[in-house]
Structure 1
Amino acid sequence: MKQRKRVHRTEQLALENEFSANMRDVIDSLLSAHRTQRPVVFTALIETRGSTPQKAGATMLIYEDGRQVGTLGGGCVEAEVKRRALECLSTSQRQLETFQLDHDYGWDDGLICGGRMITLIDPIGGNSRIEYYESLLKQIDSGEGFTQAIRIEDDDGTIPAGARYLFDHNNTLIAQTDDHDFPNSNSGFIPELKSLPRPKMSQGWAYLPTLPKFELFIFGAGHVGKKVSEYASQTGFEVTVVDDREIYCNPQNLPDAKHCLVGEFDEVIDSMEFGPRSFCIIVTRGHNHDEEALFHLIRKQTCYLGMIGSKRKIRLIFDDLIAQGIEAHELERVHAPIGLEIGSQTVPEIAISIVAELISFRSQLSTSVRPHK
């Protein structure tokens, strides 16, 4: 397995995708509670500085009995957020709270590091703009990415602190929690999602981007494919597994995969559609199946294409494909052997090395996401 260039944004991007998955559970639970008229409080980290247990974008829903969905990092700060959230249930008043991770909130967590967290606390009741959360859930499920703009300061007395505005992947305003119009002068601060932005603060506003989802198609439902499915789904990939053996390729065996496709590799691949956010990896049970899958994938438009195997096996497969009419330059984009060089030996270690490479490659995508043709 070959070493690839180290990318410093890997951890941040993984966190952003993790927050997206966490947020969906939180918003889905919030809407369910609203339908059944159960009092709940929505909380979110909207700005962090320094060392904090979670970063901006983390969300948590709190029920009146103290149960929760999601997390803001645990420990004393989370406990204090819950306490204040439950107080807000009686007033139905939205609040912004600032926590300094010093002696007040750091002793039990080992977090005496000077970090700061600004938290939104929003009780969900009859006067809540539930349409905002419904639109938010639709944006999460679309996988195209979106941005939330949140008012941090209300010094000018026009837009109250905690007001939120939801923009789709084209930076079109589609929902808001307050009646006040979003300032035209701030439209230039909405991040362009194609540049993979991080959360930012500007002129009393917090901008929280949720990046587009990336699809991962795993060809092979064996031990390695199963573990890659598990780890990749936990780091923000939307996973589809393909295999010709239904005994392995099924939702019970692959609970982390969104889709399980069963059939001959050539027939399934020819019926599939790929795009500029599609990752494909080949980890089948043998040389012939790997070669067959690569033959049918090599000319597909994908963002990333990788194959497992020894250098000798890969050389033999490449030679066979060239003999079948595949141009040598077409094979240059294949990441093989797939995986970062970490000395992996066991199936979990191999899967970790593969997913690490996928995250690294995803993090390197910059001003635009262009498919290989």
Structure 2
Amino acid sequence: MRDVFAALCNAANAGRPCLFTALVETRGSTPQKAGAAMLVFADGAQIGTLGGGCVEAEVKRRALERITVGGPELMTFQLDSDYGWDDGLICGGRMKMLVDAIRPGNDLSYYRACSERATAGQGFTQAVILEDHPDAPPGSQFLFDVAGSLLASRPAGLPPESVGENLRSISSRPRPYVVSGVTYLPSLPRCRLIIVGAGHVGQKTAELAADVDFDVWVIDDREEYCSPERFPRAQQLIAGPIGRELKALETTPDDFLVIVTRGHNHDEEALYRLIGKPFRYLGMIGSRRKIRMIFDDLRKEGVSPSALERVHAPLGFDIGSQTVPEIAVSIVSQLIAVRNRGESVSTVHALRDTVRAASGT
């Protein structure tokens, strides 16, 4: 979504017509869920996706018919044999799309506000009118911040009172929903992932985490490892003694913390420094024997059993990982589960055990 909004603003600045298409409502089985967005240009080029396949091609075809018209339109697609014949995939659901043709000279304050929020990693909710309403035509869009304050609208104007009344708090991490003919498309704030350890596992984990929209920080005592060359997409690199840097580090209840250092002693010190800080997720790599020894040491240092129960150790889903990329996949998969679904430690461990049982390991 961030890339789509940024590309839309860049195209408008260059005087290049384009079409913003967004999946605003789904019913039944569909290849993509509400909230997906795609930008289409006159030559058929696109940024983003609505799920691929024939239905995406049909959205592009119908959208391009409007590129000289301008303004929004709602389009409905029934996923029957019309859109699944070529690959045998007939979902049977229904997808409703918002198609907004952006022309040179259009007021882009709404999309610029969306782009600014998305780029900054701040949460917001878009509300789109789906049905006839006396105070706003179908396709009208309203942008709200995390506090529920109106930031922008397209076209300009105030939303119907009921739109604000049905707005759900971003803190509850809602998924897209429809109430009284209005669809609500929440974009959750980006989360910070602090990786302690800049070795091979830390490097690959950082790469994958950036791909799935975490803001990555890396901490290591080796400056030659904790470098922009190895972590080109990191938001922050901190090179220095691990204990000192973690002691000074300020965290929030939304932060994700991953300990993947090169040795037992560094892992233990990192966990000792982090376990008393606020976080949403704290995980540590290692064998069960190593983890048991570290937990025993921390109990002797006065760390409570209840605090240790909040630690994902060993971190990551058990997928039989052997290589560094596989280990990173298992870690980032678990981070996504906690971020997107609010999984608790017990739930994640239950899922891990289910995966292990299914694989026969």
TM-score of the aligned structures, taking structure 2 as reference length: 0.88
**In structure 2, distance between residues paired with 1:180 and 1:355:** 42
Mapping of residues 282-361 of structure 1, within 5 Å? 282-361=259-338
Query: 1:229 touches 1:239 (CA, 8 Å); kept in 2?
Result: yes
Secondary structure, counterpart of 2:163 in structure 1: helix
Query: 1:213 touches 1:277 (CA, 8 Å); kept in 2?
Result: no
Higher mean Cα deviation, 291-300 or 311-320? 311-320
Q: Which residue of 2 aligns with 1:183?
A: 160
Unaligned 5+ residue runs, structure 1?
A: 1-22, 367-373
Q: Which residue of 1 aligns with 2:100?
A: 122
Q: Which residue of 1 aligns with 2:80?
A: 102
Query: 1:52 touches 1:111 (CA, 8 Å); kept in 2?
Result: no
Q: Which residue of 2 aligns with 1:45?
A: 23
**In structure 1, distance between residues paired with 2:48 and 2:338:** 28
Asked if 1:134 corresponds to 2:112, the answer is yes
Cα shift at 1:328: 4.8
Query: 2:215 touches 2:234 (CA, 8 Å); kept in 1?
Result: yes
Q: Which residue of 2 aligns with 1:7?
A: none
**In structure 1, distance between residues paired with 2:317 and 2:117:** 33
Q: Which residue of 1 aligns with 2:38?
A: 60
**In structure 1, distance between residues paired with 2:162 and 2:27:** 25
Q: Which digits, 9 at most, give the CA deviation of each residue in 1:249-306, with x for residues without a partner?
A: 2233224433332222123223322101101010001112112212221221222211
Query: 1:88 touches 1:94 (CA, 8 Å); kept in 2?
Result: no
TM-score of the aligned structures, taking structure 1 as reference length: 0.85
Whose RCO is larger (CA < 8 A, sep 6+)? 1
**In structure 2, distance between residues paired with 1:167 and 1:277:** 21
Q: Which digits, 9 at most, give the CA deviation of each residue in 1:37-84, with x for residues without a partner?
A: 111111111111222222111111112222111111222222222222
Asked if 1:36 corresponds to 2:14, the answer is yes
Secondary structure, counterpart of 1:120 in structure 2: strand
**In structure 2, distance between residues paired with 1:364 and 1:80:** 32
Q: Which digits, 9 at most, give the CA deviation of each residue in 1:175-197, with x for residues without a partner?
A: 10023421112322112212221
Letter aligned with residue 305 of structure 1? L
Query: 1:242 touches 1:262 (CA, 8 Å); kept in 2?
Result: yes
Q: Which residue of 1 aligns with 2:230?
A: 253
Secondary structure, counterpart of 2:88 in structure 1: coil
Q: Which digits, 9 at most, give the CA deviation of each residue in 1:75-120, with x for residues without a partner?
A: 2222222222222121123211111111111112433121111111
Q: 1:275 aligns with which of 221, 236, 252?
A: 252
Q: Percent identity?
A: 53
Secondary structure, counterpart of 2:156 in structure 1: coil
Higher mean Cα deviation, 137-146 or 206-215? 137-146
Cα shift at 1:364: 4.9
Mapping of residues 65-80 of structure 1, within 5 Å? 65-80=43-58
Q: Which residue of 1 aligns with 2:186?
A: 209
**In structure 1, distance between residues paired with 2:117 and 2:340:** 22
Cα shift at 1:365: 3.0
Q: Which residue of 1 aligns with 2:359?
A: none
**In structure 2, distance between residues paired with 1:363 and 1:123:** 31
Q: Which digits, 9 at most, give the CA deviation of each residue in 1:195-250, with x for residues without a partner?
A: 22111112211111112222111111212112222232333322212122233322
**In structure 2, distance between residues paired with 1:132 and 1:101:** 31
**In structure 1, distance between residues paired with 2:242 and 2:43:** 51
**In structure 2, distance between residues paired with 1:298 and 1:268:** 14
Query: 2:17 touches 2:104 (CA, 8 Å); kept in 1?
Result: no
In structure 2, do the counterparts of structure 1 residues 120 and 229 end up closer, same or farther at CA, with 3 Å as the change threshold? same
